[in-house]
Structure 1
């Protein structure tokens, strides 16, 4: 991994003292975009995660959205959740110098010492040919929600400061993340999903181990055996191989 920390060419940055949510702000400014833009909210008043869940985001934690106009088909655009996870991993390794402490959890969480330190929320607006993508990222830099605030069986939330003693502000973290994302984005747009998939699996938590995957209709138990070419979760179960495009995973 290169440690070039220059702000990426052609990418804008907006830092807001307060915002309801950086993904909501992305939707508001989408029509005026002239290129990819990072929106950093130093304080969010209505942060949210996957499936509309609330996301605790006290001041000092990281809340940002990268908004862009991708050119690929909708299914390919969605693979940027893996691009963003790798970029987050890269930024955390740069911040800590501890690559062994960072791992990735399908579909879109980043773990530090086995606890959830960051999450990713992708939202798209518009139609094919005129699509805007918002990649929302939240990182517990200084504080994590209490363990009893997450659903039973979910990984405990952790913070960067709590796990490592390292303190970095949101703007400082963005200066690590934006170049890291630009490098992974360049790989994705040049070579496709295959190298992203390989790199993600190299850092995947519990690969080859038993997990539970809960969809909207069932809970599937099996061995986590990899990612399909479209990013879906591959499980080997007692009744055979299953491929799940969407689920919540529990270890």
Structure 2
């Protein structure tokens, strides 16, 4: 039976503007890692300030940590969180069939986006790290709510028939995250990187990475030791630190 991990706090809020905003408010008072779950959000947001649509019954939570790592190492926890999400989905559905991880921070179910991750540094160097997680448990946003060409959203209920409450999913996710965090802190990024690649969507296939400045299309070769997406094009091998990926 999955139980709540020792050393991690837990807050469940009926309503809040966003769990990321709440994380920033409470971070100074925390003495250890803390999960914040909101059953309703009024001003949720995703990567690059995009609105995050949250139908009732879906999952939105933020983990607040204070790692003693430089910013580039702290950022690798997006892969830790992705692996934890994969395990939580597998535990909820009873199978890993149809699950895959999309660089940099999405979980796919039967080819559609079922979850996303957002990392924010709170308070600058030496401050807290907020890991925001949004999961379509019950319903997916309308297709017109996502960027044209992006992976269409799906939900766990629609794709698997499994109905899981946000509170139940939080326990699965918190337990899985604690285990992956321990591995990351103990052994470094390499085992996390290998595990992530084992679950990666479209590895070895041609994909497109779109940054704020340009677009690169090439074969998805790997993720390097810094978490960069490695694409092999006709003329070079590109290591991309931040981008939106299109299939």
Q: Does TM-score exceed 0.5, indicating one fold? A: yes
Aligned twin of 1:93: 90
| Structure 2 residue 152 is the aligned partner of structure 1 residue 169 | no
Structure 1 stretches of at least 4 aligned residues deviating more than 2 Å after TM superposition: none
Which consecutive residues of structure 2, in runs of 5 or more, have no partner in the other structure? none
Aligned position for 1:192: 188
State which of 154, 168, 178 in structure 2 corresponds to 1:182. Answer: 178
For residues 175 and 145 of structure 2, the distance between their equivalents in structure 1, rounded to whole angstroms, comes to 33
Matches within 5 A, 1:221-232: 221-232=217-228
Distance, in Å, in 2 between the alignment partners of 1:105 and 1:145 is 18
Where 1:64 maps in the other structure, the secondary structure is strand
- The whole-number CA distance in structure 2 between the counterparts of 1:182 and 1:151 is 33
Partner of 1:52: 49
Partner of 1:17: 14
Secondary structure of the corresponding residue to residue 237 of structure 2: strand
Asked if 1:209 corresponds to 2:205, the answer is yes
Match of 2:104 among 104, 107, 110: 107
Aligned residue pairs total: 247
Helix, strand or coil at the partner of 2:232: strand
Deviation at 1:238, TM superposition (A): 1.1
Superposed, 1:93-172 pairs within 5 Å as 93-128=90-125, 130-172=126-168
The RMSD of aligned alpha carbons is 0.8
Distance apart, 1:58 and its partner CA: 1.4
| Alignment partner, residue 30 of structure 2 | 33
- Counterpart residue number, 1:62: 59
Q: Which runs of 5 or more residues in structure 1 are unaligned?
A: none
TM-score (norm 1): 0.97
